[in-house]
Chains A and B, each alone.
Chain A
Amino acid sequence: DAMVIQNPRYQVTQFGKPVTLSCSQTLNHNVMYWYQQKSSQAPKLLFHYYDKDFNNEADTPDNFQSRRPNTSFCFLDIRSPGLGDAAMYLCATSISDREYEQYFGPGTRLTVT
C-alpha cells in the first residue's frame, strides 16, 4: 500500500547530541512537510519542501534543519537537541501545494535525556 513511513518510531537522544529522523513516501507526492507535536497540542509546521524548494517557517528554530535528497525521502536533523525539543515529529505529504489533502505518517516520538 502507498503510504508515509517514518523511522524510527521511537528515538532517544542525549541533550546536545545530534539526531536525524527520517521519512519516506511511496505516494510520489511533490510536497513533504515536517510537523512538531507536543503533548496535548496541535501539530506545528516546521518547514516543507515543494520538490527541492525548501520553505522554512519563520518561527522554526535554527537548531532544526531538513534535507530532501530525492522525491521519496526527507530527513529532519536536530543539531543540538534540548529538553524542550522532546515531542512527536510528524511527516506529511501532499500531491502539490495546490492540492489540499495531506497524508500523515505515524510519527517519531523523540525523547531527550
Chain B
Amino acid sequence: GENVEQHPSTLSVQEGDSAVIKCTYSDSASNYFPWYKQELGKGPQLIIDIRSNVGEKKDQRIAVTLNKTAKHFSLHITETQPEDSAVYFCAASLYNFNKFYFGSGTKLNVKP
C-alpha cells in the first residue's frame, strides 16, 4: 500500500518568515494530494490540494508544489502569522479510490 512520510515533525518560525513542510509518497498511482490544518481540539480542515496533472498551486500565502518524478510534494506558507500555528497533515490518495494515506503531521509554531 501507499506510504507517506512527512518532515519535519516540528517547525518553529518567527512571524513573517516562511515555512516549508515536505512529504514523500511511495505509490506512483497516487494522484491527489491534500493538505489539512488541524487546530487543537478540532477536526482537520482542508487548506489546499493538488492533483497529479499540476505541478504547483497557490492560494494567497499558501502554495503546494508536486514533483511526480521524485514522488514528493511540499507546502509553502509565506508571511507566517501566529494563527498559522497548528498541526499540518499531508495526504496522498490513490486513483479511483478516495482513501487518504496521511503523513505523521508537522506541528508548526509561529512565534510573534
Contacts and interface: CB of A to CB of B under 8 A. Distances in A.
Contacts of A94: 98
Given A31-B98, A43-B102, A45-B99, A101 B44 contact: no
Contact of A97 (B36, B45, B98, B105): B98
Interface stretch (B11-19, B57-65, B69-77, B89-97): B89-97
Contact of A99 (B41, B43, B98): B98
Interface of A: 4, 6, 31, 40-45, 48, 90, 92, 94, 96-107, 109
B38 to A, nearest CB: 8
A94 B91 CA distance: 15
Interface residues of B, number: 22
16 contacts: A4-B43, A40-B105, A41-B104, A41-B105, A43-B44, A92-B43, A94-B98, A96-B98, A97-B98, A98-B96, A100-B32, A102-B46, A102-B98, A104-B45, A106-B42, A107-B43
A48 to B, nearest CB: 8
Contacts, number: 55
Interface of B: 32, 34, 36, 41-46, 49, 51, 89, 93, 96-100, 102-105
Contacts of A109: 41
Contact of A42 (B34, B93, B104): B104
Given A98-B96, A100-B34, A42 B102 contact: yes
The 9 A-B pairs at the shortest CB distance, nearest first, are namely A42-B102, A104-B43, A100-B32, A97-B98, A104-B44, A106-B43, A107-B43, A105-B43, A90-B43
Given A106-B43, A107-B42, A101 B103 contact: no
B36 to A, nearest CB: 8
